Structure 1
Amino acid sequence: MTHNRLGTATLAAAAMLAALPALAQPTPAVTPAQRDTAAQVAQRGVALSELAPNAPDSYTVRSGDTLWGIAGLFLARPWRWPELWGMNLQQIRDPHLIYPGQQLFLDRSGGRAVLGTRAPDGGLQTVRVSPRVRSTSLADSALPTLQPGLIEPFLTESLIVAENALQQAPRIVATREQRVMLSPGDRAYARGSPAAPLAAAAGDAPQNFRVVRDAVPIKDPTSGEVLGYEAYYLGKATLAQPEGTRETRGRDGKPAVEIVPAALSILSSKEEIRIGDRLLPEPPPELRSYTPHAPAAQIEGRVASIYGIAIPNTNAAQNQVVAINRGTRDGLERGHVLMVLSDGGTMVDGTDPAKPVMKLPDEPNGLLMVFRTFERVSYGLLLDIRTGVKVGDRLVTPR
């Protein structure tokens, strides 16, 4: 088994999301259920049938690895990473602190599999690890095999809003030099509602906004119910000057009041920004951590939409983001891994004289990891996908 296999394992990439440099997070929590599982397995190991077909006899941990990725080397079902941790519970007490240079050995004797840092013959680990490495957590030192750009934008871009939220939000009303499209560094002018003009925030902190367009309804593919509205992210802007008025005189010489729109500086743009686009306050940064794991309960959902794609009947591929028709009220949380099932379709049984219609079984098509949740909608990253994923495909708790 080579490191290339680990480097290309998409499930390992999913776990690396916890270590994105731009989103440095505290060590993800280990749930009591995961800890209990690990303690049980630590006493007896796991059945040989649970091992991956090509599980190596030993593996040297390298910079960028995660316990989840290494679980994919040794276990047939990598999302059961607590069992791998339990196999080495005494030596790896924290599953998120595993150090480059450690050598892991797989002992298959006795009909059970045990993973540890000692060779099966009782030999001691010979790899030395410097104190600097020992004091550095994976969250600080890991080099993700999945490019951070695949997931980082959606942590701030994807946004579910209420039905009338955009109609009430401040809007861009003009540009400098009558520019049609705006890009980073350009100046824009915006107005809020009469009851809520764009005003400067208290203190010295900059007031930043997301620039968005259109609120596309996300519908449940089964019931047709609208689950929420997805605002399409365009970029970021910061308030340079608040909205106001000034007194002047009209052509008739009488006093008049002129509107002075707020001035904004465009900080970044995913697409060109134009007059009419709306502004939503930039939410405070959240501490996000990911401990990829299967839900404790049975969850079944559907792919509701493919992010950023409005063309009907379009298939999503690996590393694309989809919205699903389940959220926090259904028990979904960040890090949940779900299995994607492709619709088996229907066909006529040509071997039967009666020619009955058959519904073929839905087949596993890969995995999805939930990374952002709302009340009724969640976003997930498609992992290890074999064929295209379409709206309506089923999502279930992996077996």
Structure 2
Amino acid sequence: MRLPLSGLLLATCVAFGVQAEQLQIKPDAPAQYVVKKGDTLWDISNLYLSVPWLWPKLWSWNPQVKNPNLIYPGNVLALVYDANGQPQLQLVKGVVKLSPSVRVIEKNQIAIPTLPLSVIEPYLTHEVALTEADIDMHPIILSSNRNVKINTLDQLLYVKGNVVNNALYGIYRKGDDYKELESQQTLATEMRLVATARGIRSGDIANGTPGTVYVEEVKQEIRAGDRLIPLNTFANYSAQFKMSRPSTAMIGQIIATNNQLREFSSMSVVVLNVGKAQQVQEGFMFDIKRQSPTVIEGHSGPRYVEDANSLEKLIKATSEFFGDDNSEGSTVWTMPKEKVGELMVFRVFDKVSYALVTKTSEPLRIGDFVEALPN
């Protein structure tokens, strides 16, 4: 016997409280901090700020720092307050010489990344997501100089397409399709790097002469049908990002994740169904939101949809079709979305983006929404 939901509190979970996105220093923020190798900008931001992506504001009053995203191991950071009580983070030693705008950095010193490189580096340097039209533009692997089906290191490969002599190429294989969850429309296809090769003969498609490349490094076996893509097409992405909200409202959805788990949490890489076509940029911060369950309020009282009887479900479907939330004395209540996490976009393609989950209040799922409102 199903019981009505009368008297039951419909919202049983409170996600993050809605915070005004203003500078809020954490009560336990350190007065000084020495930047260490292995730190990330996000880690340090999280030490000081309740809303870490507002990091640039903490530096906005500091004439010593032109780029708040470039912090180096050995830098000493000090938290101070100006005459108006505004918090400010300053560089204490080893970073200023002769002029307050000049930073002295040791030779070969590398700025700490915004996000953990161990998690995102493969997606910055190797993995790409292309449309079918983009994939078809790149040469296809035909065969090798040996009569084998699986090609490996130190072989010559023949490709259908022109090759630039001495240019470095990635050999890619199609992976999963990234699809809209409802329509199942394919937005992009994951392309997985399986090997690298260098061009040695250009080839001529018009005369039926294949291009030739020499295999230099192999991650997986190479197969006929794999694609040849110049590595400089997608390489050289920075590990530093300007964290910000977009200037216009944006909404999307998580359509895939780097693991195959049903639920996932912080430091997971996810795929969003928005990209360059929607003006998404690297560094954009999104809230992750989950749709609260729909309720049908009928003669027996309010019930969740899954607990409603067949007639009530038919009423719900009918009301949705006609755009009417009240039919035959029953009301369909569409509940709001609630915040369950945050993420930052770090790689953008035409129709999809890769993002790293930076914060969660509960396990996330494919199908959760992402939303960003301008400052």
Pick the TM interval, shorter chain.
0.5 to 0.7
Measured against aligned partners, the alpha-carbon deviations of 1:53-73 in whole angstroms (never above 9, x if no partner) come to: 4333x0233244566543322
Give the counterpart of 1:396 among 357, 367, 371: 371
Give the counterpart of 1:61 among 34, 45, 57: 34
User: Does structure 1 residue 213 correspond to structure 2 residue 167?
Assistant: no
Give the counterpart of 2:303 among 356, 361, 376: 356
User: Does structure 1 residue 231 correspond to structure 2 residue 200?
Assistant: no
Give the counterpart of 2:46 among 72, 86, 90: 72
**What's the offset of the Cα at 1:237?**
2.0
Q: How does 1:274-313 map to 2 (within 5 A)?
A: 274-284=223-233, 285-286=235-236, 288=238, 289-307=240-258
In structure 1, the partner of 2:328 is none
- Give the whole-Å Cα distance in 2 for the aligned partners of 1:156 and 1:373: 13
8 Å Cα contact 2:150-2:221 kept in structure 1: yes
**What's the offset of the Cα at 1:333?**
0.7
In structure 1, the partner of 2:318 is none
In structure 2, the partner of 1:269 is 218
- Taking a change above 3 Å as real, the CA distance of residues 348 and 109 of structure 1, as seen in their structure-2 partners, is farther
- Give the whole-Å Cα distance in 2 for the aligned partners of 1:164 and 1:331: 20
8 Å Cα contact 1:328-1:375 kept in structure 2: yes
8 Å Cα contact 1:63-1:142 kept in structure 2: no
8 Å Cα contact 1:340-1:393 kept in structure 2: yes
8 Å Cα contact 1:227-1:377 kept in structure 2: yes
Q: Structure 1 vs Structure 2: percent identity of aligned residues?
A: 24
Give the counterpart of 1:115 among 65, 72, 88: 88
In structure 2, the partner of 1:84 is 58
In structure 1, the partner of 2:351 is 376
- Taking a change above 3 Å as real, the CA distance of residues 223 and 374 of structure 1, as seen in their structure-2 partners, is same
Deviates more, 1:374-383 or 1:235-244: 235-244
> SS at 1:369's partner residue?
strand
In structure 1, the partner of 2:120 is 151
**What's the offset of the Cα at 1:302?**
0.6
In structure 2, the partner of 1:21 is none
**What's the offset of the Cα at 1:360?**
6.2
Measured against aligned partners, the alpha-carbon deviations of 1:81-134 in whole angstroms (never above 9, x if no partner) come to: 232113x43454542455635341344998x4523559xxxxxx7x56686994
> SS at 2:357's partner residue?
strand
8 Å Cα contact 1:371-1:381 kept in structure 2: yes
- Taking a change above 3 Å as real, the CA distance of residues 373 and 222 of structure 1, as seen in their structure-2 partners, is same
8 Å Cα contact 2:172-2:226 kept in structure 1: yes
Measured against aligned partners, the alpha-carbon deviations of 1:262-307 in whole angstroms (never above 9, x if no partner) come to: 4432233343222332323434445645212222332211112235
In structure 1, the partner of 2:267 is 319
> SS at 2:301's partner residue?
coil
- Give the whole-Å Cα distance in 2 for the aligned partners of 1:368 and 1:157: 21
- Give the whole-Å Cα distance in 2 for the aligned partners of 1:271 and 1:364: 40
Q: Structure 2: where are the runs of 5+ without partners? A: 1-21, 305-332
AA matched with 2:256: S
8 Å Cα contact 2:287-2:339 kept in structure 1: yes
How many residues were matched structurally? 316
**What's the offset of the Cα at 1:148?**
2.6
**What's the offset of the Cα at 1:373?**
1.6
Measured against aligned partners, the alpha-carbon deviations of 1:130-156 in whole angstroms (never above 9, x if no partner) come to: 869941289943345965342222124
8 Å Cα contact 2:143-2:158 kept in structure 1: yes
In structure 2, the partner of 1:29 is none
Q: How does 1:100-139 map to 2 (within 5 A)?
A: 100-107=74-81, 112-115=85-88, 117=90, 134-136=103-105
**What's the offset of the Cα at 1:371?**
1.7
8 Å Cα contact 2:141-2:158 kept in structure 1: yes
> SS at 1:80's partner residue?
helix
8 Å Cα contact 2:294-2:335 kept in structure 1: yes
Q: Structure 1: where are the runs of 5+ without partners? A: 1-45, 119-124, 193-197, 246-256
> SS at 1:141's partner residue?
coil
AA matched with 1:329: A
8 Å Cα contact 2:173-2:191 kept in structure 1: yes
8 Å Cα contact 2:70-2:112 kept in structure 1: no
- Give the whole-Å Cα distance in 2 for the aligned partners of 1:280 and 1:116: 44
Give the counterpart of 1:172 among 118, 141, 144: 141
Measured against aligned partners, the alpha-carbon deviations of 1:173-206 in whole angstroms (never above 9, x if no partner) come to: 33455444334x24143231xxxxx4452xxx52
In structure 2, the partner of 1:181 is 150
> SS at 2:32's partner residue?
strand
Aligned CA-pair RMSD: 4.1
